[in-house]
Structure formats: structure tokens, C-alpha cells
Amino acid sequence: MGLIVQKFGGSSVADAESIKRVAARIAATKRSGQQVVVVVSAMGDTTDELIDLANQVSPMPNGRELDMLLTAGERISMALLAMAISNLGLEARSFTGSQAGIITTSTHGRARVIDVTPSRIQEALAEGAIAIVAGFQGVAQDTKDITTLGRGGSDTTAVALAAALDADVCEIYTDVDGVFSADPRIVPAARKLKSVTYEEMLELAASGAKVLHLRCVEYARRFNLPIHVRSSFSNLEGTWVVKDQPEGGSMEQAIISGIAHDKSEAKITIVGVPDRAGVAARIFQAIADNDINIDMIVQNVSAAATGLTDISFTLPRAEGSRATGIVQKLQGEIGFQSIQYDDQIGKLSLIGAGMRSHPGVTATFFAAMADAGVNIEMISTSEIRISIVCRESDVERAVKAAHTAFDLDADQVEAVVYGGSGR
Ligand code: ASP
Ligand code: MG
């Protein structure tokens, strides 16, 4: 008998009708002879609504209490789903993350999974029941407090459980038919990828593709667990996220697998920084000490006459004002001239393992940007990715232009967006 973990996102369980539809799908899998563990997110926009509510009672809600509040969203959907399944004549038991043995660090709002001890899930399966687990949550090993894994964290719950239970596959059900060559909401001609490697998917997720949570892909790669991303609104085969492209597929393998974009970053430029050893280290140490993650960094060549240079870096917009304050405090010590803050930027990334062996990708990309009238402000690359920063208002045009330039446009529209508010 096989064991399959199925994860359903918020848009797949947005209301009672959807919960019944998902219950029928789970029941069919169970009746086909599989053991089934289900991980479920909060209904629709529940998590956002709970955050809004918290902000109405307190401008800075306490992390422990916010986690306690948010985990309630997933408890609602897990219990309703279990009821809907038992109404179909099968036994289903719901479990909180803590009951399911999801053990985490104690950093509220973005705890990391450090151990999974799913004995209660195994018992339920052995007794023939379907186990339903609340996604996105766990319990801290040291404080024993309830934690959450960060927005979109139910994917990670599903993969962590699948790995711990040695499942055959982790199916991630969402509101699109799989992983696309670009966001189908922006590029209607986006193609569905049959398969994508862990390393490409990691770059896509890190570059702003929201279809899978970054940490869930890291986790799946570590345990070599196949992920099947598919829609809960259709029966189509979705996208397989696996270690290597299937044999024979490499001949037609496109150079670029996908294009991701991100409008959630901001740029800080420190103008007139003395060009001497240790200055950059001082700035970035101060930012790191405050637990702020930065993304791209560009430092100009200093003008010989002044010995001064400019340093720009990007970071999540949500951290923008905090980071600006931290850098400002260093002005006296370092002696730079000024700080500029820009939150009107967007990022676009081309990802594909094929670019390792194909020269000219950058040239084609930049020519497409030039033709589309998109000015490139920053560039960063990895072995299989090229990212640029441009004006936020240019991003959608840039994504479409790059998609066409690399022959990614599908002949027929393949992308259907079934649900979700995109909130
Ligand atoms: N409900 C949580 C969120 O909206 C977790 C998830 O959906 O995976 O972020
Ligand atoms: Mg959600």
C-alpha cells in the first residue's frame, strides 16, 4: 500500500462547498487503496483577516499571541474537512501541528522545523483512518509554545511530514495547474512545466514565484522527495519537482525554464562611502545583527579624485524603514554622505539549468529589455539565474518581453487560474 501526502491551500478550501469537493477527492484517493495524510491551510483569506484583526487591537502584536491566533485558521479547516470526509463514510481524524509532532525552533512567525515525530499520525493510519493535519504550525522544542512557519508554510508542513513518513509523493494542490514558465496572471501565454528540478525550483521560489514555499523545496531536496504540484480544480497532471530532468527530456530542454518576478523589495543606496577596507563589513554586520536579510548588492568603482563610492542593496520592503534607521546610525562613525531609499523597484529573474551550457542568454535578455524600453538598474547572477532590478511599473512589461524573447509563449492558452484572490 502506498502512502501519499496531499496538501490543500487556502483557495482550495475557501468555503463549505470547496471543502466538500476536496473531501470527495481525498476519499477517492483513499478508496483507490492508498494511505492518505492531508495537510490543510486556513480557509481563503482567513490568515490575512486574522492579522488585520490583531493589528486593530494592537499596533505591534506580541509574537507568541499572534502565532496562537493564526494557528486557529488551520484548525478551523482541518476540523471541517474531517467532518466532510466522515460524512462520505470514511474515518478522518484531525491533528494540530503540535499533535502531529511538528517540532520547531521558538522564533515566532518564522519558526523552522527541527524534528518531526508523527507517532499519532502513524497510529491513525494503522487504524485505517485518514489523518488531517493543520499546516503552517508546530510547537517549539524549548519553550513548548505554539509557533508558525512563516506565510505559505503549509507546503513545508506537508513536505516535512511526507519525508518523516517516507511517503511516495507529496502532492501540493493549488489554484493553478502546476508550475508555469511565468505567472499566468501576467503572461496568459505561460506554459505549464512538466517537470522542474529542485535547484531550478529553489531559484524560482527564492526569486518571487509564489507557487511553492522556498523552505518546502529545500526540505524536499534534502530528502529527495518528489513533489507533484497540481490543481484541486481539475484532474490534469501538474508539474513534478524532482532531482533530475527525466531521461530524454534534456534534448528539448529549454534554456530557460521560467521567469519569476518580485515586487516586494526596496533598494537602499548609501552615497559617498569612504572606499576602504572594513566599511562594507561594518554596514552589513549591523544589518545582519538586526536579523534583516538582504538580496542584491552593487558597489560602484570609487572616483579616484574623491575616494568615495556608492553602495546599493535590495531587501524586503517590509524591513526598509528599519534598515534605513540602522544605516543612518552609522553615519557619524563611517562618514558617508547620504542615504536614498527607493521602494518603487521590481525584480525579474530568468531561471534555467540550460543557461550553464548556452552562451548568449544575457545578451538576448538585455536586448529584449532594451526593445521593451526597460532600464536595468542592478544585475545579479548565479549559475542558473540572471536577475535584474528595474522600475516596479516596468516589471509586467519586462516579464512579457523576456517570455517572448526566449520562445516560451505557448501556442494555445494553457494557464487557467481557478481561484484565489491573489491577496
Ligand atoms: N495560512 C497560512 C498563510 O496564509 C499558511 C499557508 O497558507 O500555507 O500564509
Ligand atoms: Mg493561505
**Residue stretches of the chain with pLDDT short of 50:** 250-251, 421-423
Check pocket membership of 263 for ligand 1, CB cut-off 6 A.
no
Domain that holds residue 321: 255-407
Beta-strand runs (E) in 179-331: 195-197, 227-231, 239-242, 258-262, 265-274, 297-299, 308-316
Do 268 and 221 belong to one domain? no
- In this structure, how many other beta carbons lie within 10 angstroms of the beta carbon of residue 220? 28
Ligand 1 centroid to residue 150 C-alpha, Å: 8
Q: Which three cell numbers stand for residue 93?
A: 481524524
Q: Give pLDDT, residue 226.
A: 97
| Ligand 1 neighbourhood includes 41 CB (under 6 angstroms) | yes
State whether 280 and 231 are in the same domain.
no
Query: Last residue of a domain, which of 215, 249, 283?
Result: 249
Q: Are residues 311 and 295 in the same domain?
A: yes
The reply to whether 390 and 241 lie within a common domain is no
Q: How many domains does the chain have?
A: 2
Torsions phi, psi for 369 (to 5 deg): -65, -40
pLDDT at residue 304 in the model:
77
Look at residue 343 in the predicted model and tell me its pLDDT.
Answer: 97
Angle at 348 between CA 345 and CA 353, to 5 degrees: 155
Q: Is residue 112 included in any domain, yes or no?
A: yes
414 inside domain: no
Verify that 81 and 227 share a domain, yes or no: yes
Question: In this structure, which ligand is nearest to the CA of 151?
Answer: 1
Does any ligand 1 atom lie closer than 6 A to the CB of residue 44? no
> Is any atom of ligand 1 closer than 6 Å to the C-beta of 180?
no
What integer pLDDT is reported at residue 359 of this predicted model? 87
Cβ–Cβ contacts within 10 Å for residue 332, how many? 7
Long-range pairs for 222-226: beta carbons < 8 A, 24 or more residues apart: 222/163, 223/159, 223/163, 225/159, 225/162, 225/163, 225/167, 225/169, 225/170, 226/168, 226/169, 226/170
**pLDDT at 423 (0 to 100):** 40
In this structure, what C-alpha cell is assigned to residue 61? 502584536
- Ligand 1 close to Cβ of residue 152 (< 6 A): yes
The grid coordinates listed for 42 are: 486556513
Q: Whose CA is nearest to atom 9 of ligand 1?
A: 151
Q: Domain check: are 260 and 134 in the same one? A: no
Backbone angles phi, psi at 146, to 5 degrees: -75, 135
Phi-psi region at 415: left, alpha or beta (left = phi > 0; alpha = psi -120 to 50): beta
Which atom of ligand 1 is found nearest the CA of 149? 5
pLDDT tens digits for range 196-232: 999 999 999 999 998 899 999 999 999 999 999 999 8
Same domain, 56 and 176: yes
| Whether residues 280 and 393 fall in one domain | yes
Give the residue, out of 43, 136, 216, with the most ligand 1 atoms within 8 A of its beta carbon, to mutate for a pocket test. Answer: 136
Record the cell numbers describing residue 290, joined without a space.
538586526
Bridge pairing between strands 3-8 and 258-262: unpaired
- The verdict on residue 420 lying in a domain is no
Q: Judge whether 161 lies within some domain.
A: yes
Residues 135 and 165 in one domain: yes
Alpha helix segments (H runs only) across 58-129: 63-86, 119-126
Question: Which residue, among 78, 82, 80, has the nearest Cα to 96 in the 3D structure?
Answer: 78
Is 136 a domain residue? yes
Q: Is 422 inside a domain boundary?
A: no
Ligand 2 centroid, distance to 253 Cα (angstroms): 33
420 lines ligand 1 (CB under 6 A): no
β-strand partners of 137: 148
Residue (of 98, 64, 92) closest to 78 by Cα position: 92
Burial of 210 (0-12, 13-18, 19+ CB in 10 A): middle
Same domain, 167 and 265: no
Ligand 1 pocket, residue 135 CB under 6 Å: yes
Ligand 1 within 6 A of CB of 97: no
The CATH number covering residue 378 comes to 3.30.2130.10
Question: Which of 227, 249, 271 lies at the terminal end of a domain, its last residue?
Answer: 249
What single DSSP character describes residue 303?
B
